[in-house]
Structure 1
Amino acid sequence: MSTVSTAVPAFGLGTFRLKGQVVIDSVRNGLELGYRAIDTAQIYGNEAEVGEAIAASGVARDDLYLTTKVWVDNYAPEKLVPSLEQSLAKLRTDAVDLTLIHWPAPDNGVPLETFMAALAEAKAKGLTRAIGISNFNIEQTKRAIGVVGKGEIATNQIELSPYLQNRKVAAFLQGEGVQVTSYMTLAYGKVLGDPVIGAIAERHGATPAQVALAWALRLGYCVIPSSTKRANLASNLLAQQLALSDADMQEIAALERNGREVSPAGLAPLWD
C-alpha cells in the first residue's frame, strides 16, 4: 500500500503491551506474513523497537502504514509537535501516516480545541499525513471536527468487541465519514471462549478469533489485533477471507453486554 492513500487500512498489527524483543519479534513476524499497517503509541514505550524491526525487515517505507498516538502529557501546544518529532526519530521515519490523540483526557488541563489545533499543525508541518482521535465520545468528536474541519478526522479508534458493540458511536462516526477502528476486538481474549462465537467458528472451520475479527470487518471497521505468536498472527490475517452470514452476524449482535475493558479515570470521557 502506498502512503499516498489516505484511507486507514482495514487490517493492521497492534503493539499494545508488547515491549523489547517481544515487540521486535511480533513486528518482524507480522511484516514477514504480510501485515503492512503497524499501530503504536508514545505511551506503549516501544516506538524505537517498532522502528528497529521495520528497518531490519527490508520492507519499503512507502509500503507501510504507520500509526502512533500522542500521550496526554504532550497535549500542550508547545509539547505536541516536539513529542511527535521524537516519535518519528524512534520510528526512523520523516512522517507517520496517522497520528491520533490517545485519550480525550478532559481533566488534563489542555482544552480539546487547543490540542486538536496543535495536531492539525503537526499535519501542516508534514509530520503526519493524516490525523485522528481515539476514545472520543460523540460530543467530543463533534468538537474535534469543529476545530480541524469535516473530512480531516481519519478515524476514531475505540474499544469495540462482540461484548461492547458501541453501535451508537459507530453509527455516528460512519455518518460523519470517520473510519471506525476497533481495538480490543477480542475483549482481552474473553470472546474466544464464547459458545456462540465457538459454534460459528466450528460451522466455518475457523477460529473464534477469526470470527470476531471478521465480524468487525463485515461492519466496516478497521481492526488492529496483536499477538506474540507467529501462528496467531498468520491465523488472524485469514479473518479477511472469512465471510460470515447474516444469521452469524445476528447471533453476534445478540452478544452485546456493554463489556468495557478499558476506562482509565481522568482520561476516559463520559461514554455514550
Structure 2
Amino acid sequence: MGRRPNKRHGTANRPDPNRPRFYGRHAVYAALDNPNRKLRKLFGTHEELAKIVIPDGLAVQYGDAQDLGRLVPADAPHQGLVLEVEPLEELWLDEILLNPDPKAPLVLLDQVTDPHNVGAIIRSAAAFGARALITQDRHSPPESGSLARSASGALEALPWLRVVNLARALDEIAEAGYWRVGLAGEAETTLSEALTPAPQAIVLGAEGEGMRHNTREHCDVLAKLPITRAVESLNVSNAAAIALYAVASR
C-alpha cells in the first residue's frame, strides 16, 4: 500500500485523532451509507472493495491484509476494509428534547470511558429504539475504530451528544418531561418498580465507582436490577441492555 514509512521517523500510519479509522464490514458499510458522515479515505483489499459501491469522489487505496493491519491497532479484525472518516457533527440537547416519546428513552453515561462498553451500549440503545446517548465531553471516549466496531454500525444510527455538565443536562431533561432513573446496585427499588409511563432517561455510572454523588442527586429515583448474590454486579453494557429492554417492555 505505497511506500512504507521509515521506522524512526514515519508517522503516515498513525491515525489522526480528529479522523478516526473504522474497520470491519459492519462499521465501514454503515459509515459509507450514512449521508451525514464525512468520508476521507477508504483502504481495502481488492476482494472486499469489489463487493461495495464506492461513493463518487472518495479516495481509495488498495492493499493486502498485512498492509491494512498497519493502519489499525494490533490484531484488530479489519476484514479487509479500513475507512478514515471525520467525527459526526455535534448535536444540541434542546434538539433531542423536542417532542419526548415514552417509547424512546435517553441513555446517559456518567464517566464510562471504555470504548468497547460505550460501543456495545450504543448498539443496544439503537436496537431498543432509544432517542439518544448522552455523555460528558471530557470523560467519554472519542469516536474510534474499536468503538465503532463494538457498536456494529449503530454509531451511524443513534444520536450521540456530549455535554459539558451532566447534572445540568439532567435538569434540562427533567424540565422536558423525562423521568430520570439512575441504576445503582445498593438501591432498594427495583428497575421495574421505578419505571413510569413517562419518557424515561436511564443513567448509568462507570464500572466500579458507579455514578458520582452529584449525578445521583439529579436523578428522580435510584433503582437496581434484580440480580442474585451470585455476582456482585453486571458489566455496564449488559446492565444498559437489560434496562433498555425493561423500558421497551413496560
TM-score class, shorter: 0.3 to 0.5
Q: Structure 1 or 2: larger helix share? A: 1
Greater Cα radius of gyration, structure 1 or 2: 2
TM-score, normalization by structure 2: 0.37
